């Protein structure tokens, strides 16, 4: 490697590492669920999709579709979430992305997956001969049908604590999609006007 090329390379920022860990989390859960997962290209990223998951029949409790697909917008944060009722309040930055996710005219449903990491980077990942451990958890929410934002930069959204992004939750979500049950945004008490 040339010295010029080597000097251009920069270590990942903390935010870049958080983002990469959210991809790793997503891929691990989808793989364990027996589903295909791939990162989206630049054009889909510009339209609010970071990754795509595909699943095939048979689905839990049946379903008439034999293949379903889901697009994912990924976020990661070290900021501890505050609770409003049974939901996490999350400050979603980027109103254009928010609008992409709340659109009801999309053929392939989209969800937001937020990975909540510990505040200290030294606590994010641990490994030994027995385990690879990524600390904390991710949750998902569909913003489909959410109200337009009155803000220009950030919108507070509410992610139900019950919607943990894990193997069982993903399997149920894809089974619902196989029956044309498309998730939409749940309203939360205390939601900002």
- The band of 7, judged by pLDDT with boundaries at 50, 70 and 90, is low
Q: Which residues contact 175 (CB under 8 A, 6 or more apart)?
A: 59, 60, 61, 63
The answer to whether residue 4 is domain-embedded is no
Pairing state of beta strands 110-116 and 67-77? parallel
Per mean pLDDT, which range of 10-24, 52-66, 135-149 is the poorest? 10-24
With respect to residue 42, please indicate whether it lies within any of the assigned structural domains: yes
| Domains contained in the chain, number | 1
Q: Give the other-Cβ count within 10 Å of 108's Cβ.
A: 13
Helix (H) / strand (E) containing 5: helix 3-8
What range defines the domain where residue 76 resides? 12-178
Please indicate, yes or no, if residue 91 is contained in any of the structural domains: yes
Examine residue 193 and state whether it is found in any structural domain, yes or no: no
Other Cβ atoms less than 10 A from the Cβ of 89: the count is 17
What value does the mean pLDDT of the chain take?
Answer: 87
Unique residue bearing structure tokens 């795509």: 52
CATH code (residue 121): 3.40.1350.10
Q: What is the pLDDT of residue 4?
A: 56
By the 8 A CB rule, do 128 and 61 touch? no
Q: What is the rounded distance in angstroms from the CA atom of residue 114 to the CA atom of residue 89?
A: 11
**pLDDT tens string 15-29:** 888 888 899 999 999
- Is position 63 within any domain? yes
Is residue 17 assigned to a domain?
yes
């Amino acid at each position: 490697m040339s010295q010029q090329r080597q000097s251009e390379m920069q270590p990942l920022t903390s935010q870049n590492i958080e983002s990469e860990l959210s991809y790793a989390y997503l891929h691990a859960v989808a793989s364990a669920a027996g589903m295909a997962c791939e990162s989206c290209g630049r054009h889909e990223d510009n339209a609010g999709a970071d990754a795509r998951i595909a699943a095939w029949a048979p689905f839990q409790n049946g379903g008439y579709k034999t293949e379903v697909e889901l697009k994912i917008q990924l976020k990661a944060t070290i900021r501890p979430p505050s609770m409003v009722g049974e939901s996490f309040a999350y400050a979603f930055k980027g109103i254009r992305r928010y609008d992409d996710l709340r659109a009801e005219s999309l053929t392939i449903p989209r969800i937001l997956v937020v990975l909540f990491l510990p505040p200290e980077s030294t606590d994010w990942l641990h490994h030994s001969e027995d385990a690879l451990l990524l600390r904390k958890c991710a949750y998902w929410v569909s913003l489909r049908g959410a109200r337009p934002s009155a803000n220009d930069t950030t919108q507070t959204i509410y992610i139900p604590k019950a919607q943990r992004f894990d193997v069982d939750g993903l399997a149920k979500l894809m089974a619902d999609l196989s029956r044309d049950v498309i998730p939409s945004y749940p309203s939360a008490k205390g939601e900002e006007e």
